[in-house]
Structure 1
Amino acid sequence: MALAILGCASALAADKVTVAVTAIVEHPSLDAARAGVKKALEDAGYKEGDNLTFEFESAQGQPATAAQIAQKFAGEKPNVIVAIATPSAQAVVSATQDIPVVFTAVTDPVSAQIVTDRDHPGGNVTGISDFSPLEQQLDLIREFLPSAAKIGVPFNPAESNSIALLAALKDLGKAKGFEIVEAPASKSADVAGAAQNLVGKVDVIYLPTDNTIISALETILAVGAENKLPVFSAENDTVKRGAIASVGFDYYQVGLETGAIVVRVLKGEKPGDIAVRNATGTDLMVNAKAAEAMGVTIPKSVRDRAKQVIE
């Protein structure tokens, strides 16, 4: 009987897993992605405090800290490391070649050198990309502001995700009659100044999925409201916080999709055999209060098809 009980306990212990999660910064979109990952694990039977250890650390916007966290996790050897956002994914991939890595909220994993091939990533890495639906977002700006010609884009030049988006924006913007005006900000403290420098130079501000910029969102919104300069965004969570509108991903859903991949890895699939894919589903969200504050009228066509209008 004692041997049977011991064997049972060993089996339970073997079922316990550790998932270590790191994010470059905490803001609502990335937090929602983390929550989605955790919910997917729970739905698959992995319960924190029971058979799951779920560890999380934020780099607080510092790439050097992201590297330290990655090294720490690599030394702890969890079953899977989940890396949220491009800088954290780059740090984790540099830290380990054997621990399974699942990334999420990464704009362009190939240009960021996280994987070499989306369809056949190989090695120990796979995940979910959140490359923005840029054409829909530019069309939305045009629908709001038919005569707009110049779009200001605050971005962090050190974030490879932002460089990839900026290049795509320039190409697509030119085809749609927009000039893209760059507003670099290397750290959160520089974001307000970058936004202020756009006043009088552009017709609208567009916020990409740049972690430095989004972490300082309120400073840009203040510039927009004070100068009647409309602020649009690539992220729906920023619309809830005060941007005018976005066609963007639900990052909780992105997290659920990411968590489903984590479960596959925990059940024995090799990350390198799982194709990287883009997140699915986008929603149109509009903030009526923000539109009024920034002097913009919401077109009826936009209001009619929006999933949510925040009054």
Structure 2
Amino acid sequence: MGLSAAAAETRIGIAQFGKHPQLDETVTAFKAEMTKLGVSDAVYDELQVNFDATLIPQMVTKLASNSPKLILAVTTPVAQGARQIVGNTNTPVVFAAVTDPVAAKLTPSWEAGDKAMTGASDLQDVASVITFIKKLLPDAKRIAYLYNPGEDNDVAVLKLMQEVTKAQGLELVEVGLDNTNDIPIRVGSLAGKADVIYVPGSNLVQPAVPAVAAAALSINIPVVNASAQAVRDGLVAAAFEVSYTKVGQNAAKLASEILAGKSTESLAPIKPAYEDHAAAINEAVLAKTGQKVPDSLKDCGCFVK
């Protein structure tokens, strides 16, 4: 792990958990946005630990020893490690790609930063997901939600789905899955009971998206996924996912304000809004379920083949 030897007025440390397309996208967008925001003299010391959590303290300590103006901590484990090591120093930390900073005890709430830390979340906004589904399938009234009752994140999203669908006058069809072997039967039972299936970022269900897609196609129900890869692979009709470019840009906005003199406590963590998500639509897969792309999405620039 080598540090840059260059000197500049604005030295920024970047602590990354490991090389990964979404995390790399976050960092690239962060640096580009910092330049756009006028931080043109920045020098970045970038380290990563190949997803070895035991090396996080060493990485953060090394970055902190170079006296940066601030540290960008990418992912929850890295942000938690940074908080422990530099939390009592004068080095502010901006996190990025942290799903729930409140649950992770990085910030006291969504309304305020911590005394040494704030940042940009990658928490998917359920209301925005439902808004997209309604745009894609304006006639859909019944949304099936596939989830693992034993997974905390799945249950947390379920509660949000219940609130949002109720508020918007939609029916939520809850489909709990204990194991992936049940998918063909459970999805097949949705015939005549659901107009669209939403698959969250579930550790159980996401790896089984091919099985979900096949079962849903057999009963002509379109699937909207939390990740766009299944859309690009021609498995599901659409996806609505958090843009990690936006996450990086949001982190940069906070970082530039800190460099301008604002305290981390005065800056609330940024939660992704509708415009911080990216849509992906596979028109051919959508057509297999007898659906067409509405005119309102014709110019979305989000079609994949």
| TM-score > 0.5, shorter chain as reference | yes
Which segment drifts farther, 257-266 or 149-158?
Answer: 149-158
Alpha-carbon distance change, 121 to 16 in structure 1, aligned in 2, over 3 angstroms: closer
Q: 1:97 aligns with which of 82, 87, 90?
A: 87
- C-alpha distance in 1, partners of 2:9/2:279? 45
**What number of residue pairs does the alignment pair up?**
279
RMSD of aligned residue pairs (Cα, Å): 3.9
Which residues of structure 2 form unaligned runs of 5+? none
Q: 1:279 aligns with which of 272, 276, 283?
A: 272
Q: Which amino acid aligns with 2:251?
A: T
Which residue in 1 is equivalent to 2:15? 20
Alpha-carbon distance change, 70 to 155 in structure 1, aligned in 2, over 3 angstroms: farther
Alpha-carbon distance change, 230 to 21 in structure 1, aligned in 2, over 3 angstroms: same
Deviation for aligned residue 1:36: 0.9
Taking structure 1 as the reference length, the TM-score comes to: 0.69
- C-alpha distance in 2, partners of 1:129/1:102? 11
- C-alpha distance in 2, partners of 1:85/1:124? 17
Contact 1:248 1:283 in 2 (8 A): yes
Q: Does 1:289 align with 2:284?
A: yes
Percent of matched pairs sharing the same residue: 20
Q: Does 1:40 align with 2:33?
A: yes
Q: Does 1:146 align with 2:140?
A: yes
**Any idea what the Cα deviations from partners look like across 1:185-214, whole Å, max 9, x if unmatched?**
xxxxx8x6585674334455423356x479
- C-alpha distance in 2, partners of 1:198/1:31? 37
**Any idea what the Cα deviations from partners look like across 1:200-236, whole Å, max 9, x if unmatched?**
34455423356x479x55x413541365164312455
Deviation for aligned residue 1:115: 0.9
Q: Does 1:127 align with 2:127?
A: no
Which residues of structure 1 form unaligned runs of 5+? 1-9, 60-64, 185-189
Which residue in 2 is equivalent to 1:71? 57
Which residue in 1 is equivalent to 2:160? 168
Deviation for aligned residue 1:275: 2.2
Deviation for aligned residue 1:125: 1.1
Taking structure 2 as the reference length, the TM-score comes to: 0.70
Alpha-carbon distance change, 283 to 77 in structure 1, aligned in 2, over 3 angstroms: closer
Q: Secondary structure at the match of 1:119?
A: coil
Which segment drifts farther, 283-292 or 142-151?
Answer: 142-151
**Any idea what the Cα deviations from partners look like across 1:115-141, whole Å, max 9, x if unmatched?**
113333232110123443323423544
Contact 2:187 2:215 in 1 (8 A): no
Which residue in 1 is equivalent to 2:188? 200
Which residue in 2 is equivalent to 1:113? 105
Q: Secondary structure at the match of 2:250?
A: helix
Describe how 1:235-254 pairs up with structure 2 within 5 A: 235=227, 239-242=231-234, 243-254=236-247
Q: 1:260 aligns with which of 250, 253, 261?
A: 253
- C-alpha distance in 2, partners of 1:11/1:94? 27
- C-alpha distance in 2, partners of 1:290/1:119? 41
Which segment drifts farther, 118-127 or 273-282?
Answer: 273-282
Q: Secondary structure at the match of 2:280?
A: strand
